Amino acid sequence: MRGISIGLGLALSCMALSGAGPISPHASYALHCSGCHTMSGGGAPEAGIPDFRNSVGNIAGSEAGRTYMMHVPGVVSAGLTDAEIAEVMNYVLDAWGAGASPFTAAEVTRRRAVAVGDVVAERRRVAAELSGAGIPTAQYPWP
């Protein structure tokens, strides 16, 4: 009987939480991104996590960079809808993107459908392309 009561309590709690409505892009960032990129956007370059500040807007200013952003591990594993990903990306761009164009849900869907086999190699390719054009990107120490 006690097990049934606990199960019912958990079920009711989950139902109540699911009716709480959508969470803000800021809260989604805190839940899905800040563990690596930190709440300040500073990342952890020594651990291979790029700093968003003075960089993410440059990456989002490139066609290849925008596709790359849809394939980073945190985006791929976040469990968010394409619309929610667009909202979180736009939160990131508003905070650290220096005027980069916002994402739409349709763009997220389209870019997520592009196959990117090795995200580290893709990041390096995007960074080299931007560097060749004189556009800086954050330090990225992955081999």
Q: Where are the alpha helices (DSSP H) in 19-62?
A: 25-32, 34-37, 56-60
- In this prediction, residue 143 carries a pLDDT of 59
Tokens of 57: 């807007």
pLDDT 10s digits, 117-142: 999 999 999 999 999 999 999 887 76
- In this prediction, residue 94 carries a pLDDT of 94
pLDDT 10s digits, 70-123: 999 889 999 999 999 999 999 999 999 988 999 999 999 999 999 999 999 999
Q: Domains, the chain, ranges and CATH?
A: 23-132 (1.10.760.10)
> The tokens 């199960």 sit on which residue?
7
Q: What is the mean pLDDT of the chain?
A: 85
> The tokens 């309590």 sit on which residue?
9
The 3-state DSSP class for residue 44 equals strand
Q: Is the pTM of this model over 0.85?
A: no
CA distances from 26 to 20, 23, 30, 76, 111 (A): 16, 8, 6, 18, 22
> Does the pLDDT of residue 53 top 50, yes or no?
yes
Q: In terms of Cα–Cα distance, which of 99, 20, 86 is closest to 57?
A: 99
Q: In terms of Cα–Cα distance, which of 42, 138, 32 is closest to 89?
A: 32
